[in-house]
């Protein structure tokens, strides 16, 4: 009996453990001490879910300020304040089968200990025991007595009482007062606990006569007791979504509600209840979580439910305050409805030989949510399209199937086509046992009267080039697609770019009309195409293409590409000859090279390759142009002799340099230069005389004044600091005496012997015509500041004396004087008077000057160095006679 009792006891314990709800794996409550202010993300506590398993668990919080992570950690979702009396909320745990449980979490505010440097003293309690409490929402009249605050010091002193702080002179103002003699505490206003749940002020007691404190200050706390004066309120949007056909117990959403009353009292204990819709949904009366009660939720039958929810405090007691709201539950769509065809079958007609033509529009119906993958249809041709003649697309707006013919059909071959179409969705089916639906589609091919048809459509023929005209290379005929006969056909040539082929109209024979050349520009890769047209008795036409493969023959000789070659002297010793042949192998390369029969033995061929050979001299050859005969033959020995021109020359960058041409200045050129120089000199003198002299006639006197010439002084003279002025020539007739010439002579006389040395003057010249300046320059024949240009330096004078005697120098100076005087005389005459006596420019008369070249380096002749003047021609004879007159 004892064993039987023990067995039943153990069995009952085991059954009890198995039948325990989910709460057995959770603690009934959690308590945690936290600071008064909690930042977002602060870890409050942790619920141990290890014993409950994590699969299918849904853990939520009834307070939106707190969230529960998957491992059970409770954290704050925002900045949260914990009041002095703490904070409470529920953690809701739901298993996969819909069974729920809850854990109550209590947060207490951590007391902050403020360190003090004062020495703590122990005092005996001498005040009557506080705290006090009053009810919120008290009705008038006021004031109302609360309780007496008394101090034991009143037994020894005559005292008075005061209070200060919140509720007196601080917010909330003027709520409390105290009778200073009796210590009775009174309240003067109605208080709202939701605004001030307690008020702490300070009470003091003083000696009534000395006004000194008789006891320590006493903090007094007045607790405001809660009344159920606040109905619960909904928080957050009450809009939820759950998929249709979901499992029973699936969480739809959690209704959030709050109550401003004291959470530690039943005034804030809320009970949740659904007003209607209880046959489809359930709500947890403690935490407000809504779950599905059935698996029959169908979006296609009703896609949205409006469920009334009632919340009542006092844990749902009829005396509690309540409020009603509406929860909007929307059903999400799943692909539980396959598309269906509106008709069981379709029949259509299509003409033969048509392509890319829309044949049929096939509508379907789908109850799923429009414009989603659950609604969009994808059509598949599951049968009858093995040849690829058809294509089916989808109209994105109407969701219809669009059936096209992409390859033309032939009525003579196929009179009708049976297709099978299947309609599917983009998304897979779920939540249903239905499958994709299919329908048959019959397409009848319509016969069309067609034109002739060539068989095959492209005819290939192999023809040798250069075949004789009139040769028949083939026959190309067409037939009627319906009768399969060629009776009454006429054939014409539609295209023949090179006009090589003729078509016999009655038979379709193809004959050569002109020479077929494989190397022609009309031939591409040895292929040549013509188009033939056939016309039947009903004037319908058909075309076909003849592709002629041209067979090559050896009808082209190798040709040397460049027959003019350059061989640079001293650098390259050979040149390469390159040839080409338009024929294909074996009628072209490799080529055979040899020198022609008429070659002179000066050249030889080496390094013969496929298409080229090296030509080089057989011996050293001078520069020049050489013609070399070269025989070039192809692989079949077909070729000819060709001549190559080789130029041997001096090169620059591979090109021959141009020959240098010798240039020399002829007699005419020298004469032109001399005449130009003299003309320029005469023009300068003319301008000078016109500007500085009068038009008085000047007589040419042979015994006039001389010129300034360099003296023969051998020793250096005194250095002159200033420049010696240019001395003008004295006029022959003395008409200029007493003018500027005399002033210049007087100035020269004032310079003294120390500044001017007298030169050795030739006979007949005055001494003042030969002076030496500090610049060692001799001024000759100066007139009015204009010089005739006879200047010579000391160095030049010394060189001059090396090849001329003193008498020659004297004669040269004398003639220069006469020439200057003559020019002065010309300057005084009208332009018509001396126009014939000055050098003029003449055109070339066909021969050079007999005088030759005259320059600075001309050698002085034996005739006192002036013999060259005799050869200057008749135009200078007068000038020469004047110069030689002395």
**pLDDT tens, position by position, 373-432:** 999 999 999 999 999 999 999 999 999 999 999 999 988 788 899 999 999 999 999 988
Tell me the two tokens of residue 428. 């897979």
Q: Assign 300 a pLDDT band (cuts: 50, 70, 90).
A: very high
What pLDDT score does 752 carry? 39
Which candidate, 29, 24, 35, 28, places its Cα nearest to that of 105? Answer: 29
DSSP 156-218: TS-EEEEEESBTTTBSSTT-EEE-TTT-EEEE-S---TTT-SEEEEEEEEEETTT--BSS--E
Tell me the two tokens of residue 438. 């299919």
Please state, in angstroms and rounded to a whole number, the distance separating the CA atoms of residues 311 and 306: 16
- pLDDT tens readout for residues 303-362: 999 999 999 999 999 999 999 999 999 999 999 999 999 999 999 999 888 899 999 999
What pLDDT score does 175 carry? 94
- Does the domain at 340-446 match CATH 2.60.40.4070? Answer given as no
Q: What rounded mean pLDDT belongs to the chain?
A: 77
Collect all residues with Cβ–Cβ distance below 8 Å to 214 and sequence separation of at least 6. Answer: 151, 153, 154, 156, 157, 159, 205, 206, 207
What pLDDT score does 69 carry? 81
Tell me the two tokens of residue 456. 């095959």
Q: Which CATH architecture has domain 132-225?
A: Sandwich (2.60)
Rounded to an integer, the average pLDDT of 790-816 is 53
Residue with tokens 């005092």: 123
What pLDDT score does 727 carry? 36
Q: Say whether pLDDT at 591 is over 70.
A: yes
- pLDDT tens readout for residues 611-664: 898 888 888 888 888 888 988 888 878 888 888 898 888 887 767 877 654 444
Cα pseudo-dihedral 193, 195, 196, 197, rounded to 10: 40
What pLDDT score does 414 carry? 87
Rounded to an integer, the average pLDDT of 448-467 is 84
Rounded to an integer, the average pLDDT of 208-227 is 91
Tell me the CATH class for 562-656: mainly beta
Q: Say whether pLDDT at 160 is over 80.
A: yes
Q: Say whether pLDDT at 367 is over 60.
A: yes
Please state, in angstroms and rounded to a whole number, the distance separating the CA atoms of residues 143 and 174: 11
Q: Assign 842 a pLDDT band (cuts: 50, 70, 90).
A: low
Provide the percentage of residues in the chain whose pLDDT is more than 90. 32
CATH number of the domain located at residue range(s) 233-332 in this protein? 2.60.40.60
User: Quick one: CA dihedral 861, 863, 864, 865, positive or negative?
Assistant: negative
Residues 118-156, buried b or exposed e (16+ Cβ, 10 A)?
Answer: eeeeeeeebbeeeebebebeeeeeeeeebbebbbebbee
What pLDDT score does 388 carry? 92
Tell me the CATH class for 453-551: mainly beta
What pLDDT score does 121 carry? 43
What pLDDT score does 839 carry? 57
**Order of strands across the sheet that contains 58-61:** 29-34, 100-109, 87-94, 58-61
Q: Say whether pLDDT at 269 is over 90.
A: yes
For domain 27-109, the CATH superfamily is Cadherins (2.60.40.60)
pLDDT, greater one: 734 or 300? 300
Please state, in angstroms and rounded to a whole number, the distance separating the CA atoms of residues 65 and 51: 26
Please state, in angstroms and rounded to a whole number, the distance separating the CA atoms of residues 761 and 764: 8
What pLDDT score does 497 carry? 92
Tell me the two tokens of residue 149. 């605050």
pLDDT, greater one: 706 or 596? 596
Q: Where are the domains of the chain?
A: 27-109, 132-225, 233-332, 340-446, 453-551, 562-656, 681-842+859-884
DSSP 454-513: ESSSEEEEEEETTPPTT-EEEE--EE-TTT---TT-EEEEEE-TT--EEE-TTT-EEEE-
Q: Say whether pLDDT at 798 is over 60.
A: no
Provide the percentage of residues in the chain whose pLDDT is more than 70. 71
What pLDDT score does 38 carry? 84
Q: Assign 6 a pLDDT band (cuts: 50, 70, 90).
A: very low
What pLDDT score does 12 carry? 47
What pLDDT score does 53 carry? 62
Coil/strand/helix, residue 56? coil
pLDDT, greater one: 681 or 292? 292
What pLDDT score does 450 carry? 73
What pLDDT score does 572 carry? 60
Lowest mean pLDDT among 377-391, 573-587, 608-622, 820-834: 820-834
What pLDDT score does 810 carry? 63
pLDDT, greater one: 703 or 216? 216
Q: Assign 526 a pLDDT band (cuts: 50, 70, 90).
A: confident
Cα first-last separation, the chain: 189
Q: Say whether pLDDT at 714 is over 90.
A: no
DSSP 851-865: T----TTPPP-TTTT
What pLDDT score does 678 carry? 83
- A 10 A CB-CB count for 880 gives 18
- pTM of this prediction? 0.42
pLDDT, greater one: 448 or 340? 340
What pLDDT score does 30 carry? 81
Please state, in angstroms and rounded to a whole number, the distance separating the CA atoms of residues 48 and 158: 63
- pLDDT tens readout for residues 90-101: 888 887 777 778
Q: Assign 261 a pLDDT band (cuts: 50, 70, 90).
A: very high
What pLDDT score does 11 carry? 41
Tell me the two tokens of residue 702. 């042979």
Q: Say whether pLDDT at 486 is over 70.
A: yes
Q: Are 519 and 554 in contact (CB under 8 A)?
A: no
Reduced 3-state DSSP string for 617-638: ECCCCCCEEEEEEEEEECCCCC
What pLDDT score does 345 carry? 94
What pLDDT score does 448 carry? 78
Lowest mean pLDDT among 180-189, 233-242, 529-538, 784-793: 784-793
What pLDDT score does 843 carry? 53
Largest Cα–Cα separation, the chain:
192
Rounded to an integer, the average pLDDT of 674-685 is 82
Lowest mean pLDDT among 270-274, 454-458, 575-579, 840-844: 840-844
Please state, in angstroms and rounded to a whole number, the distance separating the CA atoms of residues 511 and 533: 16
Fold equal for 233-332 and 453-551: yes
- A 10 A CB-CB count for 514 gives 12
- A 10 A CB-CB count for 621 gives 14
């Amino acid at each position: 009996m004892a064993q039987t009792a023990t067995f039943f006891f153990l069995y009952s314990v085991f059954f009890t453990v198995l039948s325990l709800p989910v709460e057995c794996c959770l603690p009934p409550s959690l308590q945690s001490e936290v600071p008064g202010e909690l930042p977002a993300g602060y870890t409050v506590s942790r619920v141990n879910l290890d014993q409950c398993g994590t699969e299918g668990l849904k853990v939520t919080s009834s307070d939106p300020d707190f969230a529960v992570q998957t491992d059970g950690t409770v954290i704050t979702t925002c900045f949260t304040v914990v009041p002095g009396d703490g904070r409470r909320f529920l953690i809701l745990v739901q298993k996969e089968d819909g069974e729920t449980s809850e854990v109550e979490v209590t947060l207490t505010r951590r007391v902050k200990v403020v360190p003090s440097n004062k020495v703590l003293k122990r005092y005996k309690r001498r005040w009557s025991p506080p705290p006090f409490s009053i009810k919120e929402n008290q009705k008038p009249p006021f004031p109302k007595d609360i309780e007496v605050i008394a101090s034991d010091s009143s037994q020894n002193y005559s005292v008075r009482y005061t209070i200060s702080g919140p509720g007196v002179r601080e917010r909330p103002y003027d709520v409390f007062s105290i009778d200073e003699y009796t210590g009775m505490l009174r309240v003067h206003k109605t208080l709202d606990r939701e605004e001030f749940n307690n008020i702490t002020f300070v009470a003091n007691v003083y000696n009534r006569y000395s006004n000194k404190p008789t006891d320590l200050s006493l903090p007094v706390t007045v607790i405001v007791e809660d009344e159920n004066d606040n109905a619960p309120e909904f928080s957050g949007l009450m809009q939820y979504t759950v998929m249709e056909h979901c499992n029973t117990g699936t969480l739809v959403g959690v209704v959030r509600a709050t109550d401003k009353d004291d959470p530690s009292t039943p005034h804030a204990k809320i009970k949740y209840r659904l007003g209607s819709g209880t046959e489809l949904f359930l709500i947890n009366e403690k935490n407000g979580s809504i779950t599905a009660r059935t698996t029959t939720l169908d979006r296609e039958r009703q896609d949205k439910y409006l469920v009334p929810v009632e919340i009542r405090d006092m844990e749902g007691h009829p005396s509690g305050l309540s409020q009603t709201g509406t929860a909007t539950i929307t059903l999400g769509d799943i692909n539980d409805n396959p598309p269906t065809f509106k008709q069981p079958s379709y029949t259509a007609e299509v003409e033969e030989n048509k392509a890319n033509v829309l044949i049929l529009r096939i509508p379907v119906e789908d109850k799923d949510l429009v414009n989603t993958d659950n609604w969009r249809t994808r059509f598949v041709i599951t049968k009858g399209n093995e040849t690829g003649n058809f294509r089916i697309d989808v109209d994105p707006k109407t969701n219809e199937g669009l059936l096209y013919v992409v390859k033309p059909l032939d009525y003579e071959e196929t009179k009708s086509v049976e297709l099978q179409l299947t309609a599917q969705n983009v998304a897979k089916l779920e939540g249903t046992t239905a499958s994709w639906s299919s329908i048959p589609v019959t397409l009848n091919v319509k016969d069309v009267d067609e034109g002739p048809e060539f068989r095959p459509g492209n005819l290939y023929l192999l023809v040798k080039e250069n075949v004789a005209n009139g040769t028949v290379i083939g026959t190309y005929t067409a037939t009627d697609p319906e009768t399969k006969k060629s009776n009454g056909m006429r054939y014409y040539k539609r295209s023949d770019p090179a006009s090589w082929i003729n078509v016999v109209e009655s038979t379709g024979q193809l004959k050569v009309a002109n020479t077929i050349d494989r190397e022609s520009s009309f031939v591409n890769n040895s292929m040549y195409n013509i188009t033939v047209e056939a016309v039947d008795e009903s004037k319908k036409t058909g075309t076909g293409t003849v592709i002629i493969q041209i067979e090559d023959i050896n009808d082209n000789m190798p040709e040397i590409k460049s027959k003019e070659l350059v061989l640079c002297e001293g650098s390259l010793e050979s040149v390469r000859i390159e040839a080409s042949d338009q024929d294909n192998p074996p009628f072209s390369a490799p080529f055979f090279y040899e020198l022609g029969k008429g070659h002179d033995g000066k050249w030889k061929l080496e390094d013969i390759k496929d298409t080229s050979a090296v030509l080089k001299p057989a011996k050293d050859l001078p520069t020049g142009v050489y013609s070399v005969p070269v025989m070039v033959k192809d692989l079949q020995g077909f070729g000819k002799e060709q001549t190559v021109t080789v130029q041997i020359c001096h090169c620059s960058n591979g090109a021959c340099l141009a020959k240098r041409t010798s240039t020399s200045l002829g007699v005419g050129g020298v004469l032109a230069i001399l005449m130009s120089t003299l003309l320029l000199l005469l023009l300068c003198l003319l301008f000078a005389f016109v500007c500085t002299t009068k038009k008085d006639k000047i007589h040419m006197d042979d015994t006039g004044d001389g010129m300034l010439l360099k003296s023969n002084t051998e020793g250096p003279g005194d250095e002159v600091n200033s420049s010696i002025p240019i001395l003008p020539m004295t006029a022959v007739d003395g008409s200029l005496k007493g003018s500027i010439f005399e002033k210049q002579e007087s100035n020269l006389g004032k310079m003294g012997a120390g500044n001017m040395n007298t030169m050795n003057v030739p006979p007949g010249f005055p001494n003042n015509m030969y002076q030496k300046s500090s610049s060692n320059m001799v001024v000759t024949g100066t007139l009015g500041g204009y010089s005739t240009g006879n200047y010579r330096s000391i160095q030049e004078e010394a060189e001059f004396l090396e090849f001329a005697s003193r008498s020659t120098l004297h004669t040269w100076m004398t003639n220069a004087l006469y020439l200057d005087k003559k020019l002065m005389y010309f300057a005084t005459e009208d332009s018509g008077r001396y126009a014939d006596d000055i050098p003029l420019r003449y055109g070339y008369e066909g021969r050079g000057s007999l005088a030759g070249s005259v320059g600075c380096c001309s050698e002085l002749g034996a005739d006192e160095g002036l013999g060259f003047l005799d050869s200057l021609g008749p135009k200078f004879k007068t000038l020469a006679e004047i110069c030689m007159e002395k």
